[in-house]
């Protein structure tokens, strides 16, 4: 099994746990700044898969921050697409 530092947290942008942890510790940044510095949460899914982990990393680095103070939001897709449309051959 891979070590904890090499686990990919943001699959869309291929950001690892180690990159998030070291960036957050070095810059003592907010969730928004961590997102901008690492691109975690800026991929196709808009942070739906990685946001909880990014929030927890920020909470561990800045202990007095509450989840309401973390200003990230989920971005829905531009328009809904059915599975049938995605699977069509053109």
Please give the pLDDT value at position 50: 86
Write down the pLDDT at residue 44. Answer: 83
* Secondary structure (DSSP) of the chain: ---GGG-EEETTTTEEHHHHHHHHHHH---HHHHHHHH-TT-STTTTTTTHHHHHHHHHHHSTT--GGG--------SS---HHHHH---
- The domain segmentation of the chain, as residue ranges, is 4-87
How confident is the model at residue 1, as a pLDDT?
A: 46
**What is the per-residue pLDDT across 20-77, written as a single tens digit (0 to 9) for each?**
989 988 988 777 888 889 999 888 888 888 888 888 888 887 777 655 555 555 556 5
**pLDDT at 74 (0 to 100):** 56
Tokens of 44: 């196709």
């Amino acid at each position: 099994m891979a070590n904890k530092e090499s686990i990919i947290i943001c699959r869309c942008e291929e950001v690892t746990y180690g990159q998030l942890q070291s960036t957050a510790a070095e810059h003592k940044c907010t969730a928004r700044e961590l997102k901008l510095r690492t691109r975690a949460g800026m991929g196709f899914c808009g942070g739906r898969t990685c946001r909880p982990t990014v929030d927890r990393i920020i909470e561990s680095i800045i202990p007095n921050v509450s989840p309401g103070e973390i200003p990230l939001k989920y971005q829905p897709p531009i328009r809904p697409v059915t599975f049938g449309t995605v699977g069509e051959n053109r």
